[in-house]
Structure 1
Amino acid sequence: MSSIKKLAGQTMWYGASSIAARFINYLLTPLLTYGLAKTSDYGKMGLIYAAIPILNVLFTYGFETAYFRFSSKEENKNIIYDTAALSLFFSTIVFSIILWLNQSAFGAFTGLTNFPEIIRLSIIVISLDALSTIPFAKLRQEERPLKFAFVKIAGILLNIFITWFFIVYCPKQMQQPKGSWVVLVFNTETNPIVYVVFANVVQSAVTLLLLWKEIAKIQLKFNARLWKQMMIYSLPLVIAGMGGMINETFDRLMLRWWLPGTETFREEQVGIYNACYKLSILITLFIQAFRMGAEPFFFKQAESNNPQKVYARVMKFFVMIISIMFLVVALYLPVWKHFIGPKYWSGLKVVPILLFANMFLGIYYNLSIWYKITNKTMAGAWVTLAGAAITIIINYVFIPYFSFMACAWATFTCYGSMMVISYVWGQKVYRIPYAWKKLIAYMVIAFLLFFIHHTITAYITHYAFSYILATLLLLLFIGFLLKIERKEMQKLPFVGKYLA
């Protein structure tokens, strides 16, 4: 249990920073969904931010995970940071030039050919973010969460301020007498998403400046042997990462490509779906925080005695927590929906589906440790590609008939399939004693409680009754978990003393 406690501590540290950073960043959602006059503009933002992560995967080519994998070896510790950082520095220059010379193709891919400013600013964001990848990984590897948190949060706060300035403050000032000074920096003819992406450029640039001490430590030391090993390890992760981005963000682009109707209508549907996707915030935040602490932790545990037992326990606590989080969001959706503007509420029915899909994704991240520590990263690529194929096929067939509902169910099916495939394959290669029957039971019970609440409140629509019933069901589920897992819970800090 000491290992679990250590992971809990790291997850809390990185979780606090990641959750704070992500939550602050999510404040852009109400700012934009309430602040943008057109739903289609939010759709445009969804399109460009669906493409950026895909290109981020290519620009970083799995070197963050490779850095964690190889830095755990003593003989690499003095050279791996320089090798990884120099590799990303030179490749970023090359990739950026190629992308800059092919702006029209990038614009056609996103459907934003008529907005070249957005395309150019996006290329700058992608390049700057790639350069900060290894310095951030170094902070995580050295377990320096305070610096990590400060840099992340400072950049996001600046992003929000600049976005608020251009999206809210400047338009109001332009309604004042003509002498307003904002005319020097703001043009009403410019699409507001240009200013949103510009704020991201500033954030990325300031982030690099705040990481300057880590960047200054890079020396002109390059180990070709180590670099080759890292590339062999990481290239399959590029395939996995590309497939992962297809599963995670590509559906916005496919929705625009394959949905019948006018361009404005399609972008509006993308905007509605993109806004409602944000309501899976709670589970997404926890999964992100968990990944930040778990990846380096899992690699370190691989060198210890019986790491499989640790991985199994981690999975059990993980499923318990995300099952509670599912109910917190799904049962109180009438509260959470105010996080986005009312004009997006027509898409709220996708939220429970996406919540469960993200639960599957979180479990898959836990399961993926088997191919990372056994150096079988190509297996992860195949699993993710299978998920990507499912995503593309379902969306291609059903988007013309069911719009963004097809995207939600494609995501659900994709992540569920990846979870099952990874589990079955992983148990054959690197067996981990997961209590899978118990874990499935916890998730099924969570869904049944949501279904009971949804069915009853469909007939009794009083808000107070809905919240009271939701609270009772949530407490019932938590009490059930505490009773079943009492012995395990007693071993955890801050919990055991209340159950003793």
Structure 2
Amino acid sequence: MVVAGVGSMIVQVADRPLISRISGLAAAGLYGNCYKLGIFMMLLVGMFDQAWKPFVLERAERPDVDALIARVLTYFTVAAAGTFLAVAFFVTAAVTAPLFLGKPLFHPAYWDGLVIVPVVTLGYLFNGLYFVMLAPLMIDKRTGAVGAATWVGAAVNLGVNLVAIPRHGMMGAAWATCAAYAVMAATVWLLARATRAVPYEWGRLGAVGVWTAALWLVGARTGLAVRALLICAYPAGLWFSGFLKAEELAELRSMLSARSSRAAPEPPVGD
């Protein structure tokens, strides 16, 4: 796992020194400060990973563990895609509006770097997919495959950075990290197939991806009011499109019914 850790570290930190060397210290500082705004997705992914690893390893011997992994990937993708849209639509307005004693949270000198935030957030989303699809390799104790996946990601990160930073600056670096995490997720999926056929719900995952991309593209050209409507449209579109399966709808209705029963006041007791 040390080998995997080194590869993962390269993916996480290689962009800063490369930007500094290629584009200068000012560009590196701007990139680093704006990169931090991906913290919302980073926290979601980090907390999920801390809970996911022990959860799935405790259930490693269950006959339905593969189906469990597949369903968790679908649910995580739904939650992470919604978080991505919220950050992509509203983080710029949140940090540039004069909300703090008449001053913005981010100094205007940093505003040019805010264009990287959606890409950074998307990268963390792919990192979350990587964590979910890493589970079969962890269950089968294939540490060599984990190390190979992280080093593939590191190679992609370094290669894309070296090509993209001179042409596209900090946006090139952001896309390099995003691409690295996406490739890592794809690599662990491919490697895990050799020993474990997890029935991932590709149709549902694709539906989430297409719907999220469509909303993002529309929202990028609209104001805050329309973006708020698009955020509401995200779960509504999944609901009315029949995304949820019959058993999921039944479980959801059961949960809502139980919650409403607990919230209802008890009838008065007669004499």
Normalised to the residue count of structure 1, the TM-score between the two structures is: 0.47
Q: Confirm or deny that 1:402 pairs with 2:141.
A: no
Q: Structure 2 CA distance, aligned partners of 1:482 and 1:496?
A: 15
- Quote how far apart the aligned CAs of 1:381 are: 0.7
Instruction: Report the CA distance between 1:386 and its aligned residue.
Output: 0.7
Aligned to 1:32: none
Q: Which has the larger radius of gyration?
A: 1
User: Are the equivalent residues in 2 in contact too, given 1:327–1:474 (CA < 8 A)?
Assistant: yes
The partner residue of 1:485 within 222, 244, 251 is 244
Matched, 1:380 2:110: no
| Structure 1 residues not aligned, in runs of 5+ | 1-236, 260-265, 458-465
Partners in 2 of 1:479 and 1:248 — Cα distance?
A: 35
Corresponding residue for residue 112 of structure 2: 346
- After superposition, where does 1:49-448 map in structure 2 within 5 Å? 237-259=1-23, 266-338=24-96, 339-448=105-214
Shift of 1:496: 4.1
Change (3 A) 1:494 1:411: farther
Residue 494 of structure 1 and its aligned partner are, at CA, apart by 8.9
1:453 shift after superposition: 1.6
CA contact (8 A) 1:337 1:348 kept: no
The offset of 1:293, in angstroms, is: 0.8
- Give the CA RMSD over aligned residues: 2.2
Q: TM-score, normalised by structure 2?
A: 0.85
Equivalent residues, number: 249
8 A Cα contact 2:34 2:110, kept in partner: yes
Looking at structure 1, the residues matched to 229 and 150 of structure 2 have their Cα atoms a distance apart, in angstroms, of 38
Residue type of the alignment partner of 1:485: L
The question of whether the paired residues in 2 share the 8 Å contact of 1:368 and 1:380 is answered with: yes
Cα shift readout 1:289-312 (whole Å, capped 9, x = no counterpart): 101111111110102232111111
State the one-letter code of the partner of 1:317: Y
Separation in structure 1 between the aligned mates of residue 256 and residue 44 of structure 2, nearest angstrom: 22
- Which of 220, 226, 243 is 1:469 aligned to? 226
Paired residue type of 2:233: L
Change in 2 beyond 3 A, CA 1:340/1:301: farther
Shift of 1:318: 0.3
Residue identity matched to 1:300: E
One-letter identity of the residue aligned with 2:21? W
- What runs of 5+ residues in structure 2 fail to find an aligned partner? 97-104, 261-271
CA distance in 2, matches of 1:300, 1:273: 40
Shift of 1:239: 1.4
Deviations 1:144-186 (A, max 9, x none): xxxxxxxxxxxxxxxxxxxxxxxxxxxxxxxxxxxxxxxxxxx
Separation of aligned partners in 1, 2:86 and 2:257: 25
Per the alignment, residue 185 of structure 1 pairs with none
Query: Which residue identity is paired with 1:288?
Result: G
Q: Distance in 2 between matches of 1:256 and 1:334?
A: 24
User: Greater RCO between the two (CA within 8 Å, min separation 6)?
Assistant: 2
Q: Is the 8 A contact 1:486 1:499 kept in 2?
A: no
Kindly provide the amino acid, as one letter, of the partner of residue 87 in structure 2: V
Tell whether the 8 Å contact from 1:319 to 1:363 is kept in structure 2 after alignment.
yes
The answer to whether the 8 A contact 2:164-2:176 is kept is: no
Deviation at 1:321, TM superposition (A): 0.2
1:172-225 residue CA offsets vs partner (Å, 9 max, x unmatched): xxxxxxxxxxxxxxxxxxxxxxxxxxxxxxxxxxxxxxxxxxxxxxxxxxxxxx
CA distance in 2, matches of 1:311, 1:480: 24
**Are 2:161 and 2:176, in contact at CA under 8 Å, matched by a contact in 1?**
yes
